[in-house]
Amino acid sequence: ENRLNGYTPMDLLQNRFFERAEFVVDTLRKQGYCYLDDFHGEDIALKILSEVKNLHHREKFTDGELVSSNGNGSMLNKKIRDDKIAWIDGKEENCQAISHHMTTVNTLIRFCNGLIEEYDIEHRTKAMVACYPGQGTCYKRHVDNPNKDGRCITTLYYLNPGWTEEKGGMLNLYPGGSEEPVKILPRLDRLLLFWSDRRNPHEVAPSHDVRYAITLWYFDKNERARFRKKQEEEERKKAIFSGQENGSNEGGGN
């Protein structure tokens, strides 16, 4: 039977995930972020990159820009981000390697979940494949989850072989709102993880070359449930309000 010095290949695989999960959780606790290099190995990383480029060339990316209006509804909205994005659930054709990435990170997070008491992580978003097309495109300083929408861990997988700081596009992280940023190089096959809430303001510095990344956000079950309940409550109120607005009295408040 194929036991290697008493372990089966599955044992070895489980151990490998368990070791990495321990390192990730310890580091997240200590500094709020953590990155793993050579996460899949170069061959698989390049396969993922080729699928992402294929998405880009097939115009599957949309403008992800989020404009922040300056309150008085004027058209002088300033753009705060220039990335192009594509939401991928992993079942699309020609996304097998991206799908492999999603299941591998799921396994790592499942091992981490066993070690993190404060969260109960069961779900995640779809994969957000993002491209900063160069020419100084960036993403202003922000927090991914400032208002408890349920997201607790952000994972960013970078796909930029031979990237150097001269190309810009560094991920500047301000853990605990620190003055000096931690500058993360978005290099090929690097997996970065950080708490999604206000502990980690971050920004993408202006990028002078095409820069690809895949983001997966993981939800805490309870925070997500509370957020969904609040959202439904707001929907109900809005429905009642719009009911009163057009004069009809059905569903009006008491």
Q: Which is nearer to ligand PW2, 46 or 128 (CB)?
A: 128
Using CA atoms in the order 131, 51, 156, 44, what is the torsion angle rounded to 10 degrees? -140
Q: Which is nearer to ligand PW2, 8 or 77 (CB)?
A: 77
Q: Which is nearer to ligand PW2, 83 or 220 (CB)?
A: 83
**Total binding residues toward Mn ion, as defined by CB under 5 A:** 1
Pick what 66 binds: ligand PW2, Mn ion, none; C-beta below 5 to 8 Å, kind-dependent.
ligand PW2
For position 144 contacting Mn ion by CB under 5 A, the verdict is yes
What letters, b where the CB count within 10 A reaches 16 and e where it falls short, cover 229-245?
A: eeeeeeeeeeeeeeeee
Q: Which is nearer to ligand PW2, 108 or 169 (CB)?
A: 169
Pick what 159 binds: Mn ion, ligand PW2, none; C-beta below 5 to 8 Å, kind-dependent.
none
Q: What is the CA angle 163-165-169, rounded to 5?
A: 80
The shares of helix, strand and coil residues in the chain, as percent rounded to the nearest 5, are 35, 30, 35
Residue with tokens 């900063």: 132
Window 124-183: residues binding ligand PW2 (CB under 6 A):
128, 130, 139, 144, 156, 171
**Alpha carbon distance 33, 186 (integer Å):** 14
Sign of CA dihedral 227, 225, 152, 94: negative
The answer to whether the beta carbons of residues 131 and 211 sit under 8 Å apart is yes
For position 108 contacting ligand PW2 by CB under 6 A, the verdict is no
For position 83 contacting ligand PW2 by CB under 6 A, the verdict is yes
Q: Which stretch binds Mn ion (CB under 5 A): 71-79, 137-145, 216-224, 238-246?
A: 137-145
Q: Which residues bind Mn ion (CB under 5 A)?
A: 144
Q: Which residues bind ligand PW2 (CB under 6 A)?
A: 64, 66, 83, 85, 128, 130, 139, 144, 156, 171, 186, 202, 204, 213
